[in-house]
Amino acid sequence: MRVVLFYCYSELKSPEAERDRQFEFCEARGLYGRVLISVEGINGTLAGSEEDVGAYIEMLCSHPDFFMTPADFKNSSYEEETGPPFPDLQVRANRNYFPAI
């Protein structure tokens, strides 16, 4: 199983709308983790199957507001038997600046 860490500074006019899109995409693929979205970009850590995390990376790399490549994602893994490193999925929008992790 795969874990990715990522961030991208980018001007977003509607963090709330992006939050909804991100949540729907992640929930449909059974991803776990945390994603923070603000007017200044996106920051997150997600976990799931190789296929589902790969689909998320492809989605962000083709997103018109984020200028990302696969090299922008830091990868790790976890054993399926131990379960994902997060108990659930949380995608939050905030109009304020968020610190880079």
Identify the bridge partners of residue 61 per DSSP, sorted by sequence position: none
Q: How confident is the model at residue 99 (pLDDT cuts 50, 70, 90)?
A: low
Identify the bridge partners of residue 35 per DSSP, sorted by sequence position: 44, 91
- Three-state DSSP class for residue 26: helix
Domains, the chain? 2-94 (3.30.70.100)
pLDDT at 97: 61
State how far the alpha carbon of 58 is from the alpha carbons of 54, 61, 81, 96, in Å: 6, 5, 26, 27
pLDDT at 27: 98
pLDDT digits (tens, 9 = 90+) for 9-57: 999 999 999 999 999 999 999 999 999 999 999 999 999 999 999 999 9
